[in-house]
Copies of this chain bind each other. A is one copy, B any other.
């Protein structure tokens, strides 16, 4: 590594996840969830509802962070970067969600797998684009173990 080795990054949440009930199963992607942004950011949401889908980047603040993160997924015998395990070196969550509506400093989304009260760091529109082309990837390859999960509806 180089001189950047010890860079520390400081960030402040732009808003928080507000679920209908704290008892909701946050893994249920069919549920609708509200994100409440800091009020001063309301103008920054202008026009967001012209997009049907957005990425939500959030802080995994309920995930116990070990001093040294696990490097291998305990069940799948692959590295943690090759999985969607929440235990990555940095506690960043990333979920692509459907945007239902926006009202002032609040948005409603469907499919956000985050606990009530989760700090949100950023949102970004989907899809990205370059040179007059939207970047929508449909020709992907996935690992064999995921295909097994898909077939088993785990």
Contact = CB atoms under 8 A, between A and B. Distances in A.
Interface in A21-46: 27, 29, 36, 38-41, 43-46
B140 A138 contact: no
B122 A90 contact: yes
Contacts of A10: 8-10
A47 B85 CA distance: 14
A42 to B, nearest CB: 8
Contact of A12 (B41, B47, B89, B137): B89
Stoichiometry, as copies per complex, reads: 2
22 contacts: A1-B16, A9-B10, A11-B90, A14-B90, A29-B131, A41-B71, A43-B71, A47-B77, A50-B144, A51-B140, A53-B140, A57-B94, A84-B125, A84-B128, A90-B122, A92-B122, A94-B94, A94-B122, A96-B128, A111-B135, A132-B150, A132-B152
A67 interface: no
A125 B82 contact: yes
B130 A79 contact: no
Interface of A: 1-2, 4, 6-14, 16, 27, 29, 36, 38-41, 43-48, 50-53, 55, 57, 59, 61, 69, 71-72, 76-84, 88-92, 94-96, 111, 113, 117, 119, 121-144, 146, 149-154
